[in-house]
Amino acid sequence: MKILVVSQYFWPESFIINDIVRTLDEQGHEVVVATGKPNYPDGKIFDGYRAKGTQRECYLGKIDVFRVPLWPRGEGGAKNLILNYLSFVLAGLLFLPWMLRKREFDAILVFAPSPILQAIPAIPLKWLKKAKLALWVQDLWPESLAATGFVKNPHALKAVGWLVKGIYRCCDTLLVQSHAFVDPVLRYAERRKIVYYPNSMNATAPAETVPIPSELSELLETHFCVVFAGNLGTVQSLDTLLQAARHLKEDAEIRLVLVGSGSRLAWLQEQKELLDLNNLVLAGRFPPEAMPQIFERSAALLVSLNAEEIFAQTVPSKIQAYLAAGKPIIASLDGEGARIVQEAGAGISSPAEEVLPLVAAIREMRSRSNAEREAMGASGRAYFDQHFDMGKQVRRLIDLLER
């Protein structure tokens, strides 16, 4: 198939769509990517790029990537995020029809973490190219806007709901990453369009690895390190992790290691110093090629989300990454994510935003034998192979696009 992938986020930003595109190419499909300028999660345009102007490059030396101008996220805040979201929509509508004028496509796939607005530039392309349009829903709008407090006005939320309904109506297929997404999406779309299609990831070890700092490697090997990897933002319940570190401060063996960056990193650094939390380690962000080494040396992997209904319906993509790593998981969240960890027999879960149950889960994991923890990791990896294997999922994606 000839497939156009539209996504505001793409390599060198770390998103699962990178591996989807690579696997589509490996399976013999012709893939083109339309995206913006990389700036997630730190909010600064990556080195080698600039916010202005269009750009064309190759991913893996063979996949064409077309980039449109983008207002960077900056350090967060409503103004910057709104400009970031709208800039991709407007630039996509303005530039992509011209940049892709000589291309033909059988299908267009929109990878849609927040904002769902990024699907808008794909709609005229669907008509121009006479291609099927599939939207992979990673985040529920307007629910997520209300849950994060980004939009509070009920009339504005209602208007967003009408906008979402219009976007869904223009799509031929709506892929939802969680079973719990079906009913919320059904409020705005026909049931026949909705298909459960979970996130997956490339579980193959990278051909080249990036060494991690010796200090981090030594820490991981000499302590019981519970590692959180990913964005350090407003929805990851970082306050809960901070308070858990306070309760675990007297335990000389346990370390909470946060790998990543985001809008709340500066706040975490301030709180760490203020509370003198030597057991809370802010390791910084690492390239994907370094993560297998970090996971391998970890005692357990941690995922957390805020206690909101919408996040109980979501399966964070890091769960698939953790399952694939074959390490035990501690899940401080509700709903679908916790269900998968429990169903897989891959670890221990505790309710979202509840500090003491999280502390108890960490201590319980520490009390388990190495054999028990290894069994959890092996069970998680087996569950991943059965439900989330990248090769299988991409072949299924092609089946869905060909319908």
CATH number of the domain that residue 20 is part of: 3.40.50.2000
Counted domains in the chain: 2
- For residue 280, what are the β-bridge partners? 256
Taking the chain (403 residues) in runs of 10, the rounded mean pLDDT of each run is: 97 93 96 96 92 95 96 84 94 97 96 93 97 95 80 86 96 95 94 94 70 94 97 94 96 96 93 96 92 95 94 91 96 96 97 98 97 97 94 95 89
18 and 39 belong to one structural domain: yes
Same domain for 365 and 394? no
For the chain, the first-to-last Cα distance in angstroms comes to 12
Q: Which residue has the tokens 């790029």?
A: 49
Contact (CB, 8 A) for 291 and 229: yes
206 within domain boundaries: no
Paired tokens of 347? 């670890």
Q: Are residues 221 and 120 in the same domain?
A: no
- Written as six digits, the tokens of 43 are 């909010």
Helices (H), 100-213: 122-129, 143-148, 154-170, 182-186
Two tokens, residue 319: 């769960």
Cα dihedral 297, 300, 306, 312 sign: positive
Residue 232 belongs to a domain: yes
Residue 204 and residue 144: Cα distance in Å, rounded? Answer: 32
One domain for residues 14 and 89: yes
Judge if 162 and 236 occupy the same domain: no
CA atoms within 13 A on the CB side of 388: 28
Tell me, what amino acid is at 80? N
Under a CB-based contact definition with an 8 Å cutoff, are residues 61 and 25 in contact? no
Contact yes or no for 17/118 (Cβ under 8 A): no
Q: Indicate whether 209 belongs to any domain.
A: no
Residues in the chain: 403
Q: Is residue 205 part of a domain?
A: no
Backbone dihedral angles phi then psi of residue 294, each to the nearest 5 degrees: -65, -45
172 and 24 part of one domain: yes
Structure confidence at residue 203 (pLDDT): 78
Q: What is the DSSP secondary-structure string of 341-371?
A: HHHHT-EEEE-TT-HHHHHHHHHHHHHS-HH
Q: Looking at the structure, tell me whether residues 289 and 142 fall in a common domain.
A: no
Amino acid at 256: L
- The count of other CB atoms within 10 Å of the CB of residue 45 is 18
What lies within 8 Å, CB to CB, of 224 at 6+ separation is 253, 254, 255, 299, 366
pLDDT of residue 144: 81
**Pairing mode of beta strands 254-259, 280-284:** parallel
Q: Which two tokens stand for residue 35?
A: 């995206």
Instruction: Measure the CA angle with vertex 260, ends 250 and 346; round to 5°.
Output: 70
Which pLDDT score, from 0 to 100, does residue 207 have? 56
| Same-domain pairing of 237 and 179 | no
pLDDT of residue 210: 81
CA distance 1 to 30: 6
In whole angstroms, give the CA distance from residue 162 to residue 168: 10
Instruction: Count other C-beta atoms under 10 Å from residue 6's C-beta.
Output: 29
- Nearest-angstrom CA–CA distance, 235 and 256: 18
Strands (E), 243-398: 254-259, 280-284, 300-304, 329-332, 347-350
**Would you say residue 208 lies in a domain?**
no
For 3, the enclosing helix (H) or strand (E) is strand 2-6
Q: Pairing between strand 173-176 and 347-350? A: unpaired
Co-location of 169 and 267 in the same domain? no
Would residue 207 count as lying in a domain?
no
Secondary element (H or E) of residue 310? helix 309-312
Pair 395, 366 in one domain: no
Residues 351 and 365 in one domain: yes
pTM for the full predicted model: 0.81
Distance between alpha carbon 344 and the CA centroid of its chain, in Å? 20
**370 part of a folded domain:** yes
276 lies in the same domain as 313: yes
Give the domain extent around 40.
2-200+388-402
Q: How far is CA 233 from the centre of its chain?
A: 12
Q: Of 227, 292, 217, 237, give the one whose Cα is nearest residue 260.
A: 227
